[in-house]
Chain A
């Protein structure tokens, strides 16, 4: 039995497509677990055999309690494969669940398939330098799956399935969520962008990144990206601009890295770009090793000139 859980609906639907395929290969069923929500039918239309709705008074995702609920459901249903959505909540839930069930877990799978009859996963290791091919030595198998790896199955309103609603036991932990502050997202989708102008710590202040914006405006998609410090530390950009190992993975036609040093963790997010251009004042900067074209110079001089030249070319 394949069990699927995420607190993000789109992730659940995407995993359902893959879960369906894995289950069909083994002649097994797929159950979607919902915690505290109950729009079950949609999941059945998108491929689930069963939906298990756990009723609870908990208002927010709280990992200690959610882990116990999912462990109880998995044990009750005899789940052999557990797929969890790879967002920050899922990535702290899955290993805790694995420890509770005393089993193996692979986070952030980039590929899942059967090889010699064994469920096999692939994931990025060594900060982007390599891919580890990994199998499980026991059951259940626990995996976390990033968004946009699979396309949801088309809805089929003729599909039927079983919906169970039950409350599940758990003990309460003494930690408490006291505040949740949602930060405004700009709704940028760097993963789908055809061109990205990306800013790094070479910019002296937020105001100056307007220069990058101006260049981006000339290119298809007008998308701005950034390195981790500009989002996580300085908060100049919302998280949806953040590119790299711990941010978004992108594959535009052209990626222009400005004032970015090119540490491996940044490269991990943009190495699949068709053309990589770098502007950096340090001729020894690592970024030039990962670039097709490099301009060595002060961005405050080079960037306006590049923008003007592109404008002229397109005129």
Chain B
């Protein structure tokens, strides 16, 4: 089974603050990491490889420093990685065309993506890549049973569970709940240093790279709260809190 996992480097969104003067999010100096659910995708791929044999390849469009973070995925059990360097990865047309072009040039049975990334959270990439590859897509997979010739997945939709069966090749997007990504051991981390990471020049790919949208502004969303914290005398705290709630009319 040849499994491709699409994974992305993102800003650690939990660290982002809004500059009160400019009302813009401050994006400098924020740590980076692999988008959370992409690790679930790698975990699922490695599990399937453990069951059926084969190879797991991570493909990522992102800045060249993404290498550092991709290594974590190799330590989790992926066999190799391909990075297509691009500084601004926000345009879905451009990135999906590049991903599809790389995957098209590989032997693959299955492509895995996260249900959504933590920075853009749009869930666009999986369906776009599936369309470009002209293969079926199974989004929001919460349970996957891969067999040699076909795959069955339960999709977790709001208020509905839909079971889908598909032959290969097929693209899946996985939910956060599908599994618990493993923490690689020190040995695995060291071992990952020898796994191949190939850099592919985007201009060497036959892919259209015309943007579909342009972001003209990013406005920060700030939140002001009173932050009155009761920790020492809880009984007194509860009393004050209830008085305040009553005063504000929140108790009806």
Measuring CB to CB, which residues of chain A are less than 8 angstroms from any residue of chain B?
63-64, 67, 87-89, 91-96, 98-100, 102-108, 120, 123-138, 173-183, 185, 195, 218-220, 228-229, 232-233, 238-240, 245-246, 253-254, 263-265, 267, 271, 274-277, 283, 286, 288-297, 301-302, 305-306, 309-310, 313-314
Contacts and interface: CB of A to CB of B under 8 A. Distances in A.
A218 B131 CA distance: 51
Contacts of B129: 99
Given A95-B92, A102-B208, A240-B159, A296 B231 contact: yes
A294 B152 contact: no
Nearest to A286: B14
Contact of B11 (A108, A126, A265, A314): A126
B228 interface: yes
B46 interface: no
Contact of B156 (A126, A232, A277): A232
Given A127-B121, A137-B211, A100 B131 contact: yes
B86 interface: no
A302 B241 CA distance: 12
A238 to B, nearest CB: 7
Interface stretch (B62-70, B77-85, B198-206, B242-250): B242-250
Interface residues of B, number: 87
B185 interface: no
A129 B164 contact: no
A178 B34 CA distance: 34
A93 B131 CA distance: 10
A275 B243 CA distance: 13
A130 B159 contact: no
B124 A310 contact: no
Interface in B92-124: 92-93, 96, 116, 118-124
Given A105-B212, A134-B216, A181-B160, A232 B176 contact: yes
A289 B220 CA distance: 17
A217 B176 CA distance: 32
B16 interface: yes
B215 A96 contact: no
